[in-house]
Structure 1
Amino acid sequence: MNLAKPSESDTTPLDEAARAAWLYYVGGKTQDQIARELGISRQRAQRLVSKAVAEGLISFRLEHGLSSCLELEAALTRRFGLELCRVAPSLGAGVDPTRSIASVTAVALERFLSASEPIVVALGTGRTLRAAVESLPAMDCAHHKLVSLNGNISPDGTASHYDVIMRIADKVHAPHYPMPLPVIAASARERDMFHALEPIQRTMELARNADVTFVGIGQMDEGAPLLKDGFLSEAEIASMQEAGAAGEIVGWIFDESGRYLDFGPNLRAAGVRVDVPTANIVISTAAGASKVTPLHAALKGRLINGLITDEPTARDLLDR
């Protein structure tokens, strides 16, 4: 499916102002860079940013939905039957999209946490989720529960650098349930020993029945997070690639159809496996060329029913 970019005639003045403000405040670009990105003069770029502020489109976050992003959200929702879809404006070629989607993820998190009725929020780990938590305002959410989906222990015994459960609990003052496990156990026997502990069983049951789940997603190429962070060796990654591995969620590896593989590291994955959601919402937040294959596989296999991404990634997903 090819979704054409909106023409200039489809773009409203507020769209232009919102995009310029997004590039300025979130992308950290100068007015000269914005002018080049949008194909306008520096003076017009300056006026657009000022207009966004004057119109109230910016209050540390972008409050105006760009029409191009809304169209992509609608198309992705129809294609994959999503319960929630948010598409962040692109920050331009060559720019890490983490800042863009982290801001949108923070907004989504805040809205769930603003619920008056108690809910359970399950969280994975990763750069984007960590950045999203850093963008959250301080809140009083003592009536909610936060639970980790996977372990926070690295192969060398240190705490995972991208663990988010402690950070978000400090920000929103909610009771939290960490998962004191390795991400990938040394053996299936070791994993089973951890899982036999009653506190671990209670935490895992809470995570499985969460009302909303936020996860990152990992690719299974040479840049695989499981490889870069030392959880798996090159030989193990190669073995999973030969079996058709396309991506992983909280350490559990799946193929291009979104089916979990039943051998290798998956026999040692210590966290809660994210299965096809039923009444709950499972949201993956990820963007970038390397994330297209794992995202498409997870969407195809219905492992997730929520998506937060950016414009280029959204278009690539629809093109498939």
Structure 2
Amino acid sequence: MLTLNLAHEPDAAIMVRAAWLYHIGGLTQEEVARRLGVHRTRIVRLLSEARERGLVSVTINHETIRDLDLEHAIARRYGLDFCLATPSMGFDATDGEPRLAAAQGMIARRAVGGAGANFLKGKLASGKPITVGVSWGRTLEQMTQHLSGVQNSRACFVSLMGSLTRNSASNPFEVVQALAARTGGEGHFLPVPFIADTVADRAVLMSQRTVAEALALAASAELYLISVGELRETSFLRTQSMLSAEELRSIQAEGAVADSLGRLFDRNGAVVDHELARRTLAMEFEHLRNRDVVLLAGGTHKVVSVHALLQTGFVRGLIIDGDAARLLQNV
């Protein structure tokens, strides 16, 4: 099971979550401790303190309970080991309102990036060796900017896909390098473009020794942090001119609504076989099966694509903004 590692968090941050898992979720104290990555004696103390402070009576008296109920419902629906939802800002779907969508997306990415950084910090805090596979995206970029206060020279970060554009802070090279710099770990990236001009060009690039070595390292990772793209005119691939308008229409015509690691998926999570996907350079998505994969997604505009990717069964953990999580219930 993919667990959280919250031992570095203060008691107040753990208490409500532990109380909910124990009193409402029905987990034993040992199971709560394992789920949160906290020693059992600390969980016992926090549960006792929660009762003494009146946090727990017949119900859990805390506004966070709404978020925990939502997280639990999403995790149960999609068979996840965990879901972390940031506090809702009260945004609804923003279709047809580009400026509002842009503002909401920026706020959501910052919130999810912060939550993702805290999750990763828990995984790195022990100082043990760990290899983390990283995809690309603006939310993952935000995660690197929020990550602080943790050093692990034995951590290794490796890109799961080719670089996007030389000037984009969201391409995997920059994300990996930022993670390595902030933690004192190592960074490895795929020294190739994300999309080759032709299928034959992709085959040549994938056969290079440096590419094969990077992909082998990626396949050995203990943890994967990925994102998902929405296949619309406002998507990152489209605004960065990685996709032409004609290619986007062609992909949409095949029923694709989401992309991740260069693979396309329809609303039900089925792979969409399109020529564009056969030109992308990335780790094979199938290698993520039964691995510790965490999806970071920020923005109400990504609800459909998040639903699609969760339908694949590859994702074990979800970190999402509260507004998107609320809308995800109704997809």
Name the TM tier (shorter chain): 0.7 to 0.9
Which of 174, 177, 180 aligns to 1:166? It is 177
Q: 2:142 matched to 1:131?
A: yes
Q: Is the 8 A contact 2:127 2:152 kept in 1?
A: no
2:253 counterpart letter in structure 1? E
* TM-score computed with the length of structure 1 as normaliser: 0.75
Pair 1:219 & 2:230 matched: yes
Contact 2:128/2:152, CA 8 A, preserved across alignment? no
Indicate yes or no: 2:292 matched with 1:284: no
Query: C-alpha displacement at 1:253, in angstroms?
Result: 1.6
1-side partners of 2:126 and 2:80: how far apart? 21
1:191 aligns with 2:202: yes
Give the aligned partner of residue 67 of structure 2.
69
Residues 5-16 of structure 1: pairs in structure 2 closer than 5 A: none
Residue in structure 1 matched with residue 30 of structure 2 by the alignment: none
**Cα RMSD, aligned residues only:** 2.3
Consecutive unaligned residues in structure 2, runs of 5 or more? 1-11, 17-61, 92-99
The aligned amino acid for 1:303 is F
In the alignment, the residues of structure 1 paired with residue 218 and residue 271 of structure 2 have an alpha-carbon distance, to the nearest angstrom, of 19
- Tell me the equivalent position of 1:313: 324
Are residues 1:248 and 2:290 paired?
no
Q: Unaligned stretches of 5+ in structure 1?
A: 1-13, 19-63
- Pick from 191, 212, 231 the counterpart of residue 201 of structure 1: 212
**How many pairs does the alignment contain?**
258
Instruction: Tell me, in whole angstroms, the C-alpha distance in 2 between the residues paired with 1:274 and 1:87.
Output: 25
Q: Is the contact made by 2:140 and 2:227 (CA closer than 8 Å) also made in structure 1? A: yes
CA distance 1:180–1:215, shift in 2 (3 Å): same
| Matched residue, 1:83 | 81
Q: Is the CA contact 2:131–2:155 (under 8 Å) kept in the aligned structure 1?
A: yes
Give the 4+ runs in structure 1 shifted more than 4 A. none
Counterpart of 1:271 in structure 2 is 282
What is the alpha-carbon distance in structure 1 between the residues aligned to residue 330 and residue 75 of structure 2?
14
Q: Deviations over 1:233-272 (max 9, x none)?
A: 1101100100000101133221122222222210101111
Q: 2:154 aligns with which of 143, 149, 156?
A: 143
Counterpart residue identity of residue 214, structure 1: L
Per-residue deviation at 1:273?
Answer: 3.3
Deviation digits for residues 180-210 of structure 1 (CA, Å, limit 9, x no counterpart): 1111111111111111011211111221232
What is the CA–CA distance in structure 2 between the aligned matches of 1:249 and 1:284, rounded to whole Å? 10
Partner of 1:103: 114
8 Å Cα contact 1:214/1:284 also seen in 2: yes
Local SS of the residue matching 1:247: strand
Deviations 1:124-171 (A, max 9, x none): 1111111111111143212121100111242xxx25331301111110
CA contact (8 A) 1:149 1:250 kept: yes
Percent of paired sites with the same residue:
28
DSSP-derived class of the 2:205 partner: helix
Query: TM-score scaled to structure 2, two decimals?
Result: 0.73
Answer yes or no: is the 8 Å Cα contact 1:153–1:180 preserved in 2.
no
Cα distance in structure 2, aligned partners of 1:136 and 1:246: 31
CA–CA distance in 2 between the matches of 1:268 and 1:121? 25
Q: SS of the residue aligned with 1:147?
A: strand
- 1:67, CA displacement in angstroms? 1.5
